[in-house]
Amino acid sequence: MKFLLNSLTFFPFTPKPLDSKPPFRPIKVSVQTPPPDFDFRNEIASDSRAAISRTFPELLDLADNGTLILLHKQSFGPVPSWRKEFVEPEAIWLVGTSHISPESASDVERVVRTVKPDNVAVELCRSRKVGFNFPSLTTPCR
């Protein structure tokens, strides 16, 4: 973040911003955007592929076809001081899937068995959730 002389001015929240004077000095900041020719997909994909080839080369075919992306924590900077109790994962493995595709299910199983992650998160849209029969929360797992 850098300070600019001519930037958009933000005032702290007030109930009627146009009727009152700001209680604090306005802050002028700007978040620098990437250059116009920056290709986010290719940049992330090439870094991801390189990391996958170093850690689990047996998954390179999934990286090459765009199914698997690996993101490292250090790519996004440090955890803010006010969130020190929050522990972020060192790496996030994203697996692109197609709903009800046997190939996608196989890809996910392969990544989970190979990487052996501490946690797995699954996104499921509401329309697909209706088709599942979830056991009662009081039913013990087997």
Residues 68-126: tens digit of each pLDDT: 999 887 666 666 677 777 677 788 899 988 877 889 889 999 999 999 998 888 776 66
Q: Among 43, 67, 63, which residue's Cα sits nearest to residue 55?
A: 63
Residues 6+ apart with CB under 8 A from 131: none
4 by DSSP, 3-state: which? coil
Under 8 Å between Cβ of 67 and 93: no
Tell me the pLDDT tens digit for each residue of 2-44.
555 555 555 555 556 555 565 666 666 666 777 888 787 888 8
Q: Which residues pair with 91 in a beta bridge?
A: 72
Under 8 Å between Cβ of 52 and 70: yes
Please state, in angstroms and rounded to a whole number, the distance separating the CA atoms of residues 54 and 125: 33
C-alpha R_g of the chain: 22
Under 8 Å between Cβ of 30 and 1: yes
Total-model pTM: 0.58
